[in-house]
Amino acid sequence: MTITIIILTILLWSSVKGELPVKRDVEIEWDLESTPLEIRTDSELGSDDQVQVRFYSAVGAYAGGIMLLFSSTPQYSLGYCTSSYKNFAVNPPSAADKVWRITLTRTAGVRLVIHCNEVEVLNILLSQTCALDIWSSKWSDDVAKIKFDLSDDTASDYYGTQLQLPEEDTSEEDDENEQGDNQNYSDAAALKVSLIFLVVLLFAVNMSI
């Protein structure tokens, strides 16, 4: 019985891509400290497109935010921390298709780490980086929600966990397959809920024996 539960649990977590299309100006439940946020973009360098995502506490208080600018040299800015856009410590990969992973920890100060296509491009302590004194009051709350900006976020396409870069098109059917991604995610999410119920049921039965 225990083996069955383990197998079903593995199926549970592998059944969902963990990818959703970005909806702007909508608060999204997201515990950033336990679950790094990944964002997929396909903006070209020099387009001046932006990723702009804000963080909020459980009660809706502002808890930080990140902006990524697709200038000829990619740059970043942090809400109520940096006074202007800054260059990354390491230049992000030049490929148009990018997956950005944003990690926030508080084990030894507020640390922000950003990966782009698995390359660490930024790893900073805000106490050593922020030029604005107000940063500590704005970044002190635990992040429980995120929101993509309605007007300024022009680059974010998808968000989630363990995002995969799209494969190169090999046929005319690829566009149709991409259009079906949202439906596939919904179907997978329904399967996930069913598997959760089944795992819990089997666990309860196993405990009662």
**What digits encode the pLDDT tens for the residues 121-153?**
999 999 999 999 999 999 999 999 999 999 999
Number of domains in the chain: 2
pLDDT at residue number 184: 42
Backbone angles phi, psi at 106, to 5 degrees: -135, 20
3-state secondary structure of 177: helix
Query: Do both 64 and 122 map to the same domain?
Result: yes
Query: Do both 9 and 52 map to the same domain?
Result: no
Query: Which helix (H) or strand (E) is 188 found in, with range?
Result: helix 181-208
pTM: 0.74
**By the 8 A CB rule, do 8 and 200 touch?**
no
Distances in whole angstroms, Cα of residue 13 to Cα of each of 27, 95, 139: 24, 29, 31
CATH code, domain with 34: 2.60.120.200
Query: Do both 49 and 31 map to the same domain?
Result: yes
Place of tokens 């049921």: 201
Query: Do both 13 and 67 map to the same domain?
Result: no
Place of tokens 């991409």: 178
pLDDT at residue number 186: 44
Distances in whole angstroms, Cα of residue 47 to Cα of each of 41, 43, 50, 55, 71: 12, 7, 9, 25, 6
Query: Do both 52 and 76 map to the same domain?
Result: yes
Q: How many CB atoms lie within 10 A of CB 188?
A: 15
CA angle (189 as vertex; 194, 143 as ends), nearest 5: 115
**By the 8 A CB rule, do 63 and 127 touch?**
no
Query: Do both 118 and 133 map to the same domain?
Result: yes
Query: Do both 49 and 11 map to the same domain?
Result: no
Q: Torsion-angle region of residue 99: left (phi > 0), alpha (psi -120 to 50) or beta?
A: beta
Instruction: Give the chain's mean pLDDT.
Output: 83
Domain around 2: 1-17+168-209
Query: Do both 105 and 192 map to the same domain?
Result: no
Per-residue pLDDT of the chain (209 residues; tens, 9 = 90+): 544 443 344 334 433 448 999 999 999 999 999 999 999 999 999 999 999 999 999 999 999 999 999 999 999 999 999 999 999 999 999 999 999 999 999 999 999 999 999 999 999 999 999 999 999 999 999 999 999 999 999 999 999 999 998 775 544 444 444 454 444 444 444 445 454 555 445 555 566 65
Query: Do both 45 and 72 map to the same domain?
Result: yes
Please give the torsion angle defined by the CA atoms of residues 149, 152, 158 and 161, in that order, rounded to the nearest 10 degrees.
Answer: -60
